[in-house]
Amino acid sequence: MEEPKNLQAIMGLITHSGNAKSCAMEGIQEAKQGNFKAADKKMEEAHNELENAHNSQTSLLSKEASGENIEITLLMVHAQDHLMNAITFCDLAEEFIDLYKDK
């Protein structure tokens, strides 16, 4: 079987998005324990992972914008789902951490 085109960018989206979500969850857990510096550090890591995921996505968007035909596969849709979930989860994690800080 032939390796799907753009596999590296697609896997970057999945990997970095998953890492971002995991870091955000760890941030919530740290805040729950009152460890706000650690929570902030975890959220910084989450945002760095989101930036890496966005870079993977941008590489695909740039190719398409320059006229390259980008095949939409189930794996690519899956990767985009991971990114959108990670963004939403990180946004909500920030809110949870703020709530724990205000407690």
pLDDT on residue 71: 86
pLDDT in tens, 12-21: 999 999 999 9
Active-site position among 16, 47, 54, 78? 78
Q: Is residue 102 helix, strand or coil?
A: helix
Is a pLDDT exceeding 70 seen at residue 2? no
Output the known binding site for Mg(2+): 81
Residue ranges covered by each domain of the chain? 7-64+72-102
16 catalytic per annotation: no
What is the chain's mean pLDDT, rounded?
A: 94
- The second-level CATH assignment, the architecture, of 7-64+72-102 is Up-down Bundle (1.20)
Q: What is the pTM of this model?
A: 0.91
For residue 48, what pLDDT is reported? 98
Q: Cα separation of 19 and 71, whole Å?
A: 25
Residue 59 to residue 74: CA distance in whole angstroms:
18
Annotated binding site: 81
CA angle 79, 91, 35 (to 5 degrees): 115
